[in-house]
Structure 1
């Protein structure tokens, strides 16, 4: 189904929905009943597979894609940005259309593409929307729809998940965990970044690559508009102390991070990132859409050759 323009979905196409039972603050049974009721009222064939063990999410995604390919159906992710990432990773290049029922805390991907956070409204959108090509980022063999990063940001995400396990899921808890992370000492990465014929050496606590217009606009990066030109936006912090780090965090909260003195930003289509420490070949922590994994360098960031065919409104207005 890969195309550069919107494609209609056959009115009898079945939906294969994988739902992460641990995403967000929603009642799983209530959400599942809403999905099934709304689909049944429209007379659409569908299956809902609830995954309660995150380690089985990738396998469930692959199974849903195989079923959708066999029956000309649509693959649907019901969960937060991490769940959507796992489902998109399995769907990209399969020829299947992709749908989203946002259930997470931040829902950057869904909000950027005008997909309602109300479950019933999001299901009704699936029933009527066309599939639009959406840019996908990649770091080595992993996709990202919102962002990818190394250094401090993956550590922040790990700390945030630990806080959520103990105190619950909310934006306030995410903020507190971020403050706690910043109070610790930060390891400085020495990175060699190759872009086209240009080579740059950076010493930074974190390298952040964005692929989401709403998030980039919220923190104040002028490079946000580069996404419309098939590019990604990168941000690297220069080495700073704890107080300066807090100041940068506040600037980001008020949408003014991009013009800070201690921030280096640039747009690109493809870069190669190599660590310069003595054990430069050991695996690095890399975060993609909120999920942390280890990858062996060098790390190649770029735009995927194929887009993801996403069911979304024809006239999109990002939800703030």
Structure 2
């Protein structure tokens, strides 16, 4: 695995902000996230906020297509009342709500209700719903880094190629066999056994154009996820950078071996992976045509027009999270 030159200018995003102890919360909850534990979480919110005499409004979303619009209404309501916006759901839900929150002046809170919860785990937010609710009442808002693909934000990762196909395949398996990490792993291995085409991409990074052939281009903004696969570039996220990984064009057996290395946290030992840290780079197709490609961001699959510009967000997201020492203890 190789890493490109690292920029010396690392942006700073300022200090943590103390929340007003009377500020209300506007909570956007995805009713379909995780194991559909919405009723339990809603009861915990009512109990904890009632004891603290804290105002809140719960916006329950049953139709995923209404999530972005609901998040925007939540931000407008929070702005009018000098409150905070909370996303309750998996990483995809949190990303949709955070996209509306960033730059609004509102703090962003998290109640993790998904399968993997990479974003909340990376920032030390408790997986236990009761503890996560209690944290909202006491935490300061800390500036955290986000990534962008063109004008779309991501919190955890963005990718094109094989990975978005694997996510779609995973959703089919989940509908049949339920939501669990074991089902997700099973569906991924089944997808890797299939024949798939490699991408030919032109990558413009720091003024240098390189053509790569790969099954998938994966861009990460999550230290925990990179550490789980053993990527050597994981610490660079703390320096205000994102990390790109792209396996070289290899056969199916070699692809499975590479995936097993990742599962064993040994990706850094692999010679078949291109890896580099960056603040900004652009991906085009060799034909220069404005092709429409499938892309995944935080587990949600959509289509975007090339070229694709991956970059670190200029504005941080102010996240209600534990202090650094407590967050480190909570990570798992």
Name the TM tier (shorter chain).
over 0.9
Q: Distance in 1 between matches of 2:41 and 2:175?
A: 21
Q: Distance in 2 between matches of 1:48 and 1:220?
A: 39
Give 2:6's aligned residue.
none
Gaps of 5+ in 2: 1-11
Give 2:292's aligned residue.
283
2:37–2:113: 8 Å Cα contact kept in structure 1?
A: no
Q: Distance in 2 between matches of 1:197 and 1:118?
A: 46
Give 2:144's aligned residue.
134
After superposition, what is the alpha-carbon deviation per residue over 1:36-85, rounded to whole angstroms, capped at 9, x for unaligned?
11111111000111111111111110010000111100000000000000
RMSD: 1.2
1:184 aligns with 2:187: no
After superposition, what is the alpha-carbon deviation per residue over 1:188-231, rounded to whole angstroms, capped at 9, x for unaligned?
11100001211111011100000001001111111111111110
Q: Distance in 2 between matches of 1:258 and 1:235?
A: 11
2:203–2:281: 8 Å Cα contact kept in structure 1?
A: yes
Which range is displaced more, 8-17 or 24-33? 24-33
Size of the alignment, in residue pairs?
Answer: 318
Q: How do 1:211-230 residues align onto structure 2 when only pairs under 5 Å count?
A: 211-230=221-240
Give 1:208's aligned residue.
218
1:9–1:130: 8 Å Cα contact kept in structure 2?
A: yes
Shift of residue 282 of structure 1? 2.2
Shift of residue 247 of structure 1? 0.6
Out of 282, 299, 316, the position equivalent to 1:272 is 282
Q: Distance in 2 between matches of 1:202 and 1:36?
A: 52
Give 1:106's aligned residue.
116
After superposition, what is the alpha-carbon deviation per residue over 1:137-188, rounded to whole angstroms, capped at 9, x for unaligned?
0000111110000000000111111111111100000001101111111111
Out of 274, 299, 322, the position equivalent to 1:313 is 322
Q: Distance in 1 between matches of 2:58 and 2:162?
A: 36
Give 2:132's aligned residue.
122
Give 2:32's aligned residue.
22
Runs of 4+ in 1 over 3 A off after TM superposition: none
1:35–1:119: 8 Å Cα contact kept in structure 2?
A: no
Give 2:61's aligned residue.
51
1:258–1:265: 8 Å Cα contact kept in structure 2?
A: no
Q: Distance in 2 between matches of 1:259 and 1:271?
A: 25
1:238 aligns with 2:243: no
Out of 78, 97, 100, the position equivalent to 1:87 is 97
1:157 aligns with 2:167: yes
2:285–2:291: 8 Å Cα contact kept in structure 1?
A: no
Shift of residue 295 of structure 1? 0.3
Other structure's SS at 2:269 match: coil
Other structure's SS at 1:222 match: coil
1:301 aligns with 2:313: no
1:143 aligns with 2:156: no
